[in-house]
Structure 1
Amino acid sequence: MEELAGKSAVVTGAGGGMGRSIALALADAGVNVAVVDIDEAAALSVSNEVAERGVKTFGIRTDVSNFDDVKKLADTAYNHFGSVEILVNNAGVTLRPFRASWDTSYDDFRWMMDVNYYGVLHGHMAFVPRMRETPGEKHIVNTSSTASVISIAGHSAYSASKAAVDGLSNAVRDELKTQNIGLSILHPGAVRTRIATSERLRPEDEKSENRGVKPWADYVQNVANPIVAGQTGPAEDPDVATSATEYITPNDVGRLVVEGILGNKPHILTHPAPLEALQERFDTLLAGQPQPAK
């Protein structure tokens, strides 16, 4: 998109963390913002921050795993703003502790897909038909993860849900090129947000803390990934990452997303790319090529 000022955006999962950062960065660029979160109080609080930037805004509770909820959100946004040019499907959840796939319940997998994948799909289905009818440039940002492009043992349910987001987004991007709609996939690394406490949203009998889930770390020694290992990092995280694995605050994520929208970037990373892991995946893919019969 060449110009953001005067446009209107819907940002899910915007009651804190990366979503809040994105909402505020868009507002700073002159964009009207609908602040959406399953936590209504958090959505209203961030909406008040957005309003201080001098743009139109409203906060609303929406459960993105519920398609009827998302359709109502679309109706509200179009009634409030008249149009929506930017859609950020950012809401997501995760599991703690990390666990082996065989220690991951069916409900764990289902919950992860309902929010992380179907939440994105619901946003797509509720908004894209109307966005196609709106003149001018539009853009969608779907939040995935670095967990979709590198392998993280103990994180199978989350990785699967984010890989599904990638598969959908990559195909949709090519489709939307014909509709004057850009699409970026946001791949966060270790960003310090409240996503680690996602299970606060689950019924008591489904929460991992009440089921005695065996941590993945119990199966292995010297866990290299800082998130899997549960490292807390320094007293204060930096805003900008200097390595692929360090924790950062969400403060700068909004700027990165705004730049990604302006540049129509297919992928937006919050950290330097994990080059060794990406190279390993690429090499194993090439190694699977068919060889001439002997």
Structure 2
Amino acid sequence: MKEIKGKTAVVTGAGGGMGRSIALALANEGANVVVVDIEEELAKAVAAEVAEYGVGSLGLKADVSKLKDIEAVADAAYDKFKSVEILCNNAGVTLRPFRAHWDASYEDWNWMMNINFWGVLNGHLTFVPRMMNTPGEKHIVNTSSMASLMDIAGHAAYSASKAAVDGLSNSAREELKLFDIGVSVFHPGAVRTRITTSDRLMDEKHKSEQKYVKSWSDYVNEISNPIVESKKVVEPEIDPDVPTNAFEYISPKHTGMFVIEGILKNKPHIMTHPLPMDKIQSRFDGILGAVPTYPES
């Protein structure tokens, strides 16, 4: 996409954190922004910030896991702005504590996939047919995670949901080239947002069950290191602007800048951190090592 100015963007999960950063960065580039969040007051607050950039804004409440909610967002966006050229499927949740895949309940898995994967798919099913009929360049950014690129014990449900986002996005990118729609997968590393408190969005029964979940670290301590000295983790007072590794927390303030660059350059993948090359290489070494060799005839 050569220019963002004058376009209209829809950003989900935009009531705070990375979504807010993306929304404000788009507004700074001159785009109208529809700010979507399950927490309505936050959506409207960020929409008011967007308006300060002199562009059009709209704050809407929606549960991305519900197709009807996203269809209502699309109707409102097209009613007000007539077109949508940029879609950022950013809303997502995670589980704490980390847990073995067998200790994640069916409700945990269902909740995670409904929001992290179906939330993205609902965005595609709702907006793509309309965007295909819109002239000019368009772009979709789907928020995945660096967790989809490497293997993390205790993080199976989250990683699986993000890997599903990758699969959808990569295929959609090839399909939508025909319609002048770019697709980027956003793989943030550690960003300090409220995602670690995602249980606030669970129903009360599901939320209450979280206190009884066995942490993955308990298995590690019991099996690998039964006697562990408790150490206090010292958090930095200020998050670095330039992280040195994928697990070093950064402020969400710069994440919008990375997304803007990804849209303008039509990047297949957008990163926020240095890649954990040892973990990524380990995965791909396993793939390369699985290539069969055939006996010479």
Q: How many Å separate the matches in 1 of 2:207 and 2:289?
A: 41
Shift of 1:244: 2.0
Match of 2:167 in 1: 167
Shift of 1:273: 1.1
Q: How many Å separate the matches in 1 of 2:185 and 2:163?
A: 11
Match of 1:140 in 2: 140
Which protein is bigger by CA-based radius of gyration? Answer: 2
Match of 2:266 in 1: 264
Which whole-Å deviations, capped at 9, do the CAs of 1:12-41 have from their partners, x for residues lacking one? 000000000000000000000000000000
Q: How many Å separate the matches in 2 of 1:165 and 1:232?
A: 34
Specify the SS of the correspondent of 1:260: helix
Match of 2:282 in 1: 280
Counterpart check, 1:123 vs 2:99 = no
Q: Which amino acid aligns with 1:98?
A: F
Distance 1:280 1:208, change over 3 A: farther
- Which piece of structure 1 moves more, 129-138 or 205-214? 205-214
Q: How many Å separate the matches in 2 of 1:241 and 1:179?
A: 37
Shift of 1:292: 2.2
Shift of 1:242: 2.4
Specify the SS of the correspondent of 1:142: strand
Match of 1:110 in 2: 110
Q: Which amino acid aligns with 2:107?
A: D
Distance 1:181 1:246, change over 3 A: same
Matched pairs, number:
289
Distance 1:134 1:24, change over 3 A: same
Match of 1:243 in 2: 245
Specify the SS of the correspondent of 1:220: helix
Q: How many Å separate the matches in 1 of 2:154 and 2:208?
A: 14
Match of 1:33 in 2: 33
Does structure 2 conserve the Cα–Cα contact (< 8 Å) formed by 1:99 and 1:154?
yes
Q: How many Å separate the matches in 2 of 1:230 and 1:126?
A: 47
Q: How many Å separate the matches in 1 of 2:12 and 2:156?
A: 24
Match of 1:226 in 2: none
Shift of 1:204: 1.5
Alignment map for 1:71-220 (pairs within 5 Å)? 71-207=71-207, 210-220=210-220
Shift of 1:245: 1.7
Q: Which amino acid aligns with 1:34?
A: V
Does structure 2 conserve the Cα–Cα contact (< 8 Å) formed by 1:239 and 1:251?
no
Match of 1:292 in 2: 294
Q: How many Å separate the matches in 1 of 2:32 and 2:233?
A: 37
Specify the SS of the correspondent of 1:252: helix
Q: How many Å separate the matches in 2 of 1:50 and 1:247?
A: 26
Specify the SS of the correspondent of 2:285: helix
Specify the SS of the correspondent of 2:25: helix
Q: How many Å separate the matches in 2 of 1:285 and 1:201?
A: 37
Q: How many Å separate the matches in 2 of 1:107 and 1:180?
A: 38
Counterpart check, 1:50 vs 2:34 = no
Counterpart check, 1:69 vs 2:69 = yes
Q: TM-score, normalised by structure 1?
A: 0.95
Which whole-Å deviations, capped at 9, do the CAs of 1:270-294 have from their partners, x for residues lacking one? 1011111111111000111112249
Q: Which amino acid aligns with 2:239?
A: D
For structure 1, the residue ranges without an aligned partner over 5 or more in a row are 224-228
Q: TM-score, normalised by structure 2?
A: 0.94
Shift of 1:231: 5.5
Shift of 1:102: 1.1
Does structure 2 conserve the Cα–Cα contact (< 8 Å) formed by 1:71 and 1:126?
yes
Does structure 2 conserve the Cα–Cα contact (< 8 Å) formed by 1:204 and 1:210?
no
Specify the SS of the correspondent of 1:102: coil
Q: How many Å separate the matches in 2 of 1:2 and 1:107?
A: 43
Distance 1:230 1:100, change over 3 A: farther
Shift of 1:209: 5.6
